[in-house]
Chains A and B, each alone.
Chain A
Amino acid sequence: METIECKDVTKIIKKNKVIDHLSLTLHAGQIYGLQGINGSGKTMLMRLISGLIYPTSGSIFIDGEELGKRLAFPKSLGLLLENPAFLDPYTGFQNLHQLASIKRLVNDDHLREVLREVGLNPDDRRPYRKYSLGMKQRLGIAAAYMENPDLVILDEPTNALDTDGIELVKKILQAQKARGALVLISCHDLEILRHMSDEIFVLEDGHVKAHLFAPFEEEAS
C-alpha cells in the first residue's frame, strides 16, 4: 500500500457532522499524528480510513481503490480503536492466536515475540479480564501490528501507559515506519505526538485546522 487519499470527506451521524469536508493524503513509510480535543473527529476519521464506517459524502481511496465500493476494508490493516476489546477468558497469547488464525500470516513464535516486544509475558496464564489497563493497552497495540500490516491505526495508544510504555510505543512506531508501514496515531497530547510523528493533522470540529510537519512549523492546510 502506498497512499491513502481522503477527498472532501463528510460524515454525518445522527444529524451531527462529525467529519466536515476533510481532505488529506497519507503516504507509506510515514507516521501521521491526529491531534484534537474530544469530539474533534480523530476517532471518526480513523474509523473512516479503517472502513468501519463510510463517508456520507466524499471518498476515501486506498491506492486508487475506493473504500466502500470495490474495497470493504484496507487489505492489510492493524487497528486499535479506543478501548481494546478481547475475549475475557483467554490469555493474551490465546487472544492473539485467535485473531492471527484468520489470515495465518504469522506463526506462534512470532506472536510470542510480539508480546515480549510490548512488555507482556507470552506464558502469562492470567485471562485477559485480569489484565491491568496498561496490559490491555499493550495487548491492543500488539494485536494491531502483529501481522506486519501495511496500515497501522492506533487510537490513543499511550492511554493508560506510563513513561516507559510511551517510549515503548515510540520504538514500535519507528520500527513499523522502518519496514514501510503507514502509521496513523491519535493523541490529545500534542507534545507526545510531536515526539512520535512525522506529520501532524490538528483536527477541530471534524476538519483539518492545521497541518504540521516535523519539526512542526505550522502551515495552512
Chain B
Amino acid sequence: MKFIKLVRYDLRHGLLKRWKWYVGAVLMAVAFWLLFCTKVASYNRGALITGDGSAITPSFGDTVFFVFAGMSEYIPDPHQSFSFPLIWMLLYLVLFWMTLEYAHNDLTKTGQQFLIRTNGRMLWWLSKCVWNFCAVLSFFAVIWLTLLLLCLLSGSPISLTLHAPLLEFTVPAAVSGPGYVAPLLFSVFCLAPLVLFALSMLQMAFTLWLKPIVSFLISVVILVASAYKLSPLLLGNYAMPVRNVIYSGTGVTNAAGVLLSAAVIAAAVLFGAVRFRKYDVLPIEE
C-alpha cells in the first residue's frame, strides 16, 4: 500500500503538476508537423516525389516516422560535414531535461518526509523508476496524440501506411519495400520509447553519483555519439528508425535494441537501488 501511495504521489507531482512540460511537447509536435507539411507540399508541388505529377497525401504513420526518424548513417567524409538530426535531438533532449531533476529535487524537499514514513529506501527508488517509465511513455503519447489530432484536422489518412517515396525525400536514406513496414513501426512506437526509458533511467541513476547537470551532459554525449556513429553498442541508434536494418539494410536490429535496452534498464534499477541503500540524503548545497 505504501508503494502505491508513493507512486500516486510521484505521478501526481512529477507528472500532472508539471503539465507545462507537456504543453512544450505539444508545441514541439505542432512545429515538427508544420515542417513536415511544408516539405510534403514542396515536393508534391514540384512532382518530385512521384515523378508522374500525382501528389501523395501523407499518412499518420508517415508523420510519426518523420518526427522520430533520426538520421541515416554518417560516414565521415572531408566533403560532407556532420550535421545533427535536430528534430530527433531536440525531442529527446527535452525529454531528458524533463526527467532530470524531479527525483533529485524531491529527495531534498518534500520527498524526505515521504521517505522517512515508508521506513525503507527501496520503495522510494522503485517508485521513482515507475514514475520515470510513466514520464517517458506519457511524453511519447502526447507527441503521438498531437500528431494524430493534427492529421485528423488536416484530413490526412489515419493509417500506419508508410509511403516510401515520400520518406525518401523527407528523411533521406535507402527505403524498404512495403512488406517490411511492421518492424519499422515497432521501431517507432515501441523501441524508441523503450530506448529512451533506458537512457532516462541511466540518467536518473547517475544523479545518485553525480550532479544532475553532469548526468544530463552524459545523456547528451550518448545521443550525439549515437548520431555520429552507427554502432550496436550506442543505444541511441535503436531510437532512430532510419538506422533500423529493415530501413537501411546495414543498421541495427529491433531484437538487439530490446535486449540492450532491457539490460540497461535492469542495470540502472539495480545499481541505483544498491547505491540508494547507502545514499546520503543531503541538501542540494552539500
Q: Which residues of A contact B (CB under 8 A)?
A: 13-14, 47, 50-54, 68, 72-75, 77, 79, 81-82, 85-87, 89, 98-99, 101-103, 143
Query: Which chain A residues border B115 with CB–CB below 8 Å?
Result: 52, 73
Query: Which chain B residues border A14 with CB–CB below 8 Å?
Result: 286
Q: Are A47 and B119 in touch, CB under 8 angstroms?
A: no
Cβ contact of A102, chosen from B2, B109, B286, cutoff 8 A: B2
Query: Which chain A residues border B280 with CB–CB below 8 Å?
Result: 13, 47, 52-54
Query: Nearest residue in A to B114 (C-beta to C-beta)?
Result: A102
User: Nearest chain B CB to A138's CB is how many angstroms away?
Assistant: 16
Query: Which chain B residues border A81 with CB–CB below 8 Å?
Result: 112
Q: Which residues of B contact A (CB under 8 A)?
A: 2, 5-6, 9, 13, 17, 108-110, 112-121, 277-278, 280-283, 286
Q: Are A51 and B116 in touch, CB under 8 angstroms?
A: yes
Query: Which chain A residues border B9 with CB–CB below 8 Å?
Result: 98
Q: Are A102 and B282 in touch, CB under 8 angstroms?
A: no
Give the A-B pair count, Cβ closer than 8 A.
60
Q: Given A47-B282, A98-B9 in contact, is the A79-B17 Cβ separation under 8 Å?
A: no
Query: Which chain B residues border A74 with CB–CB below 8 Å?
Result: 116
Please, could you name 12 A-B residue pairs with CB atoms under 8 Å apart, sorted by A? A13-B282, A47-B282, A50-B116, A52-B116, A52-B282, A68-B278, A73-B120, A74-B116, A89-B17, A99-B117, A102-B117, A143-B113
Cβ contact of A72, chosen from B2, B5, B114, B120, cutoff 8 A: B120
Q: Are A86 and B278 in touch, CB under 8 angstroms?
A: no
Q: Are B286 and A13 in touch, CB under 8 angstroms?
A: yes
| Among A50, A81, A85: residue with most chain B CB under 10 A | A85
Q: Given A73-B115, A77-B116 in contact, is the A85-B110 Cβ separation under 8 Å?
A: yes
Q: Given A13-B286, A54-B280, A81-B112 in contact, is the A101-B5 Cβ separation under 8 Å?
A: yes
Q: Are A85 and B112 in touch, CB under 8 angstroms?
A: yes
Query: Which chain B residues border A53 with CB–CB below 8 Å?
Result: 280-282
Q: Are B113 and A52 in touch, CB under 8 angstroms?
A: no
Query: Nearest residue in B to A87 (C-beta to C-beta)?
Result: B110
User: By DSSP majority rule, is chain B's interface helix, strand, loop, or mixed?
Assistant: helix
Cα–Cα, bound, A161→B116 (Å): 26
User: Nearest chain A CB to B6's CB is how many angstroms away?
Assistant: 8
Query: Which chain A residues border B17 with CB–CB below 8 Å?
Result: 89
Q: Given A47-B282, A68-B278, A102-B118 in contact, is the A52-B112 Cβ separation under 8 Å?
A: yes
Q: Are B281 and A47 in touch, CB under 8 angstroms?
A: yes
| Among A50, A99, A102: residue with most chain B CB under 10 A | A102
Query: Which chain B residues border A101 with CB–CB below 8 Å?
Result: 5
Cα–Cα, bound, A72→B114 (Å): 13
Cα–Cα, bound, A85→B286 (Å): 17
Q: Given A85-B110, A87-B13, A87-B110 in contact, is the A72-B119 Cβ separation under 8 Å?
A: yes
Q: Are A103 and B278 in touch, CB under 8 angstroms?
A: no
Query: Which chain B residues border A47 with CB–CB below 8 Å?
Result: 280-282
Cα–Cα, bound, A75→B116 (Å): 8
Query: Nearest residue in B to A73 (C-beta to C-beta)?
Result: B116
Cα–Cα, bound, A72→B282 (Å): 16
Cβ contact of B110, chosen from A50, A51, A68, A86, cutoff 8 A: A86
User: Nearest chain B CB to A99's CB is how many angstroms away?
Assistant: 5
User: Nearest chain A CB to B115's CB is how many angstroms away?
Assistant: 7
Query: Which chain A residues border B6 with CB–CB below 8 Å?
Result: 102
Query: Nearest residue in B to A76 (C-beta to C-beta)?
Result: B119
Query: Nearest residue in B to A71 (C-beta to C-beta)?
Result: B119
User: Nearest chain A CB to B121's CB is how many angstroms away?
Assistant: 5
Query: Which chain A residues border B278 with CB–CB below 8 Å?
Result: 54, 68
Query: Which chain B residues border A85 with CB–CB below 8 Å?
Result: 108-110, 112-113
Cα–Cα, bound, A75→B17 (Å): 31
User: Nearest chain A CB to B126's CB is how many angstroms away?
Assistant: 14
